A and B are shown apart, each in its own frame.
Chain A
Amino acid sequence: MTDQRMRELTYKLIHMAPEAPPFPEEPLTQLKPHPTPTPKGPARRGLPTWAIAAGVAAIVIVLAIGLPLLFLAGGDGVEPATPTTTPPPTSAPVTTLPPTTPPVPVDVTLYFFADYVEATPGDGPHLVPVKRTVDIVSETGGIHDEFGAALIALIEGPSAADTQLYAGISTDIPGETELLGYTIDNTTSTGRAVIDLSADFLDTGSFAMTNRLAQIVFTATQFPEVDTVEFAIDGEPFDSFTGEVPGPRSRDTYMDALPPIFVESPLAGDQVGSPITITGFANTFEASLQYRIELADGTLLADGFTTATCGTGCWGTYEITVDYALAEPADGFVVLFESSAQDGSPINVVRVPVTLEAAEGSTEGLNLEVSSLTAGGAPLNGAVVVESPLTITGYTNAATEVRVGGETIGVQEEVFEAVVQLVPGINEITVTAGPLTSVYTITYVPDGTVEFAFLTEVSDTEIVADYAQWLTGEEADQAAIEDGEIPEGETMPNGYYIRNQNPQLRTLPVSPDVTIWLPTPAIGSVTMVTLPLEQWLSLFSEDGTPWDVETGEEPPVTDEPHFGYFGAGWVGNPYWLTLDADGVVIQIVGQYRP
C-alpha cells in the first residue's frame, strides 16, 4: 500500500464528511451509553446468562445512583439509552436541565513492559507500572467508569511521557484491540471481572500472550473490587489463549512477569514528600532489600534496608517509611535493590523517577561529627591549616554516603574519610549525611608552617617559644630508646615522646586575630574549645611566664579557670603554633597529653 494510495483512500473517506452541525447552544442531557454491557442495548452480543445477571446487577446500581439524571433524560429511564443516535429530548423544559457533568480526571495505574531493572543478569523486560490521568465522564461515578477508562488507556499503549520515564517501554497488547464491554461481580468475596475484547486481542505476531494477559490482569486488579479476571472475545466467553493454562486469572498467575523487586508505590512521575512510603512485592534472597532516596545527580538523601514478609523463592510484601531533608523541591529517584549474596554488590536495582518535595526531615538519633587531622587535633570548624588538600575524618550514623564539598564519599561502619582541596584564605566546606548538614569554615594559609613548642613567656603581642618534636608510635619508641628514656624493646606508655634537643628560644610576633584552641575535659573524652587571647593569657602568671610547681610559683587555689584546660598555663605544656609566611603566629593549639 503506497502513500499515494493511502492518501487517495483517506481523501475518499474525508470527502464523505457531512456539513458541520450547528453550534450546540444548550447543553444536552442525553445520557451517554455506559461502558458496562447492558442487557438490552445494541452493544450486547450474546454474553452468557451469568454475565447478563451481573450486567443487570450493575444496571440496578447505575439506576440507584443515576436516577435523577435518568429521570430527566426524557422518561425512558428503565430502558438504557442507546448510543449517540438517540435524539435529544427537544421537548424537555430546558431551564430545569442540570449541566452536563464535566469530565473528572482520575489517576489510574497502567502496566506495560520495560527492561528497567539494572544489574539483573540475563533477565528480560518486566511489568512496569505507570500513572495515567484519565478523564472520567461520570454520570454515576464509581468503579465502572474508572475501570473502563483504565483498560482503554492500557490498550492505547505507552504515552510519550511514559517513554521519557522508562526508555523502551512497550505494550504487548495489539493496538487494534478494542474494549467492547465488561462486567464486575463483587457480590462474593472474590471480585470477578469479565472483560470483553475484540478479536484483535488474539493477534499473534511477535507479542507474547502471557505478557498481554499479565498487563490486563494487573491493570484490572488495581481496583479493590476486582480479584480475578476472565475474558470474552467479541462477546463470547473465551479461555483458550495459546499456550496459557485456562481458569480465572489473578495477580498470582503472573507474578513471574514482575522483577524480583517490584515497586507499587510511588509510581514514576509521582510527587512525593517526606516521609515517603514505599510499598510493593519482593522475592529476594532472605527477603532482604535495601533502599535509597537520591537526587537526580546521585546525591543520597536517605537510605536503609528492610525485609519483605517472604523471600528466597517466595513473594512477600514490604512497606518502607523513610524521612529525608531537602531545601528545594527536586527531581530524584526512589531506588530499591538487594545486595548480591556473592559479593554484596547491588543487584535487581529498580529506580523510580519521582519529584521530591522540600522537607525538613527528622534527625532524631542521627549524628554527624567531623574532625580534621590537623596538628593538635584542632576542630575543623574555624581551623587554620597550612596544607592542601586536607584530609578530614568523620563519623555518622545518618547515611551510608556523605557529601563533602561536592564529592560523594562512602561511609564504612559509620566512619568516613574525605580529601578536600582548599583555596588560599577562607574555605566553606559543607558536609551532608542524610538529613544532617554541617558547614565548616577553614582558613588555608598556603605558605604557613606549623611548629611544636613549649612556651616560656607569653603576651598579647609576642610569645617566646622553645621548639621541640612531637613523636608518636614507633618513631616515638625509637627516639626514646635512642635518648635513653626507655630500655631497648620497650614502648612509650602513652604512645608519644617529646624530643627537645635544641634549647634555642625564639620570640615570635602574635597576630591580634590569633585563634587559640585548648583541650578541655568532657564527659568521658576531651574536646577542644576556643578562647579569646586575653583569657588564655590570664592562665599564665602575671609576668607572662608559665606556673612552675618546682620554683614554688602556683596560681591561687581559688583561681578556677586554671583547672579547666589540663594545666594550659603551666610549665611543660606543649602547643602547636601555626605561623603565616611572615612568621606571625596565627593559631595556637594546646596539645592534650593523657
Chain B
Amino acid sequence: MTDEEIYRKYSDDLVRFATGLVGPFDAPDVVTDACLRAFGAQSWPTVANHRAYLYRSVLNQARSHHRSTLRRRVRELRAAAPEVAASPEVDVDVLAAVDKLSVQQRASVVLTYWEDLSPTEVASRLGISEGSVKRHLSRARSRLKELLHD
C-alpha cells in the first residue's frame, strides 16, 4: 500500500479520534501533521501495524497541541452565541467538558466508548499500562459527572 492509500483508508477514523482529543476545529491539522511526521519517520517503512502507529502519532501530536486552544475556541463560540452554538454540528457544552479532561483521558474515553476497545486494547493502542487506562477512565468519568452535574 502506498502512503496515500494508507491515508485514505484511515484518515476518517483518525480525524474522529483527533476530534475527541483536540476538538473538531484543530483535528484536521493534527491529523495532517501527525501523518506527515509518521510518513517521514525513518521507522515508517518497517511499521507492521499502520493503524496503531498512526493512532499513536495522532495522540503524540495532540499532546503537543496546546491545551489552551480548545479553551479559546470554546470561549469564542460562547461569545458568538447563539447563532454558532445553535449549530447542530457543534455542542459547546460537550466541548467545554472535554476541555477539562487531559489528553490521555480523552484518548482513553474515545477508544473505549467510540471504538469499543477493551482496556487491554486501549492500553496497547496508547502504549500505556492497563492500570493507567482504567485510572484515566475513572477520573474522566468522575470529572465529567462533576462538570455536567449528572
Contact = CB atoms under 8 A, between A and B. Distances in A.
Interface string B114-139: 10000000011001111110011001
A249 B150 CA distance: 41
A14 B16 contact: yes
B88 to A, nearest CB: 9
Contacts of B41: 102-103, 135
A137 B15 contact: no
Given A13-B98, A23-B8, A84-B29, A100 B23 contact: no
Contact of A9 (B8, B18, B94, B135): B94
A593 interface: no
Contacts of B36: 24, 27-28, 100
B105 to A, nearest CB: 7
A16 B23 contact: yes
Interface residues of A, number: 53
B15 A20 contact: yes
A72 to B, nearest CB: 16
A7 B111 CA distance: 11
B12 to A, nearest CB: 5
Contact of A6 (B104, B129, B144): B144
A214 to B, nearest CB: 20
Interface in A1-53: 1, 3, 5-7, 9-21, 23-24, 27-28, 32-33, 35, 42-43, 45
Interface in A101-128: 101-103
A24 B32 contact: yes
Main secondary structure of the interface of A (DSSP, over half): loop
B15 A19 contact: yes
Contacts of A21: 11, 15, 28-29, 31-32
Nearest to B18: A17
Interface centre among A9, A159, A162 (most CB of B within 10 A): A9
A152 B128 contact: no
A83 interface: yes
A152 B63 contact: yes
Main secondary structure of the interface of B (DSSP, over half): helix
Contact of A159 (B101, B127, B140): B127
A9 B130 CA distance: 23
Given A24-B36, A28-B36, A32-B64, A13 B129 contact: no
A6 B113 contact: yes
A42 B102 contact: no
A484 interface: no
- The contact size tier of chain B is 35 or more
A79 interface: no
A304 interface: no
A1 B142 CA distance: 7
Contacts of B144: 1, 6, 9
A392 B145 CA distance: 73
A156 interface: yes
A564 to B, nearest CB: 68
Interface in B72-98: 72, 89-91, 94-95, 97-98
B54 interface: no
Interface string A182-214: 000000000000000010100000000000000
B102 A175 contact: yes
A180 B66 CA distance: 8
Interface string A224-247: 000000000000000000000000
B27 A176 contact: no
Interface in A314-372: none
A178 interface: yes
B42 A102 contact: yes
A163 B120 CA distance: 14
Interface string A536-570: 00000000000000000000000000000000000
Interface centre among B24, B66, B109 (most CB of A within 10 A): B66
Contact of A156 (B3, B28, B104): B104
Given A18-B28, A99-B40, A33 B104 contact: no
B54 to A, nearest CB: 12
B142 A16 contact: no
A83 B98 contact: no
Given A1-B142, A13-B19, A16-B91, A85 B26 contact: yes
Contacts of A80: none
A12 B110 CA distance: 11
Contact of B89 (A10, A16, A99): A16
B66 to A, nearest CB: 5
A200 B102 contact: yes
Contacts of A200: 102
Nearest to B103: A178
Contact of B139 (A43, A159, A160, A176): A176
A574 interface: no
Contacts of B20: 10, 13-14
A177 interface: yes
Contacts of B98: 13
A158 interface: yes
29 contacts: A1-B141, A7-B113, A9-B97, A10-B109, A12-B91, A13-B91, A13-B110, A16-B24, A16-B90, A17-B16, A17-B24, A17-B27, A19-B12, A20-B28, A23-B4, A24-B36, A33-B66, A35-B64, A42-B72, A45-B68, A83-B69, A84-B26, A101-B40, A135-B41, A158-B128, A160-B124, A175-B102, A175-B104, A178-B67
Given A13-B91, A135-B41, A176-B105, 4 more contacts: A32-B33, A158-B129, A159-B127, A178-B67
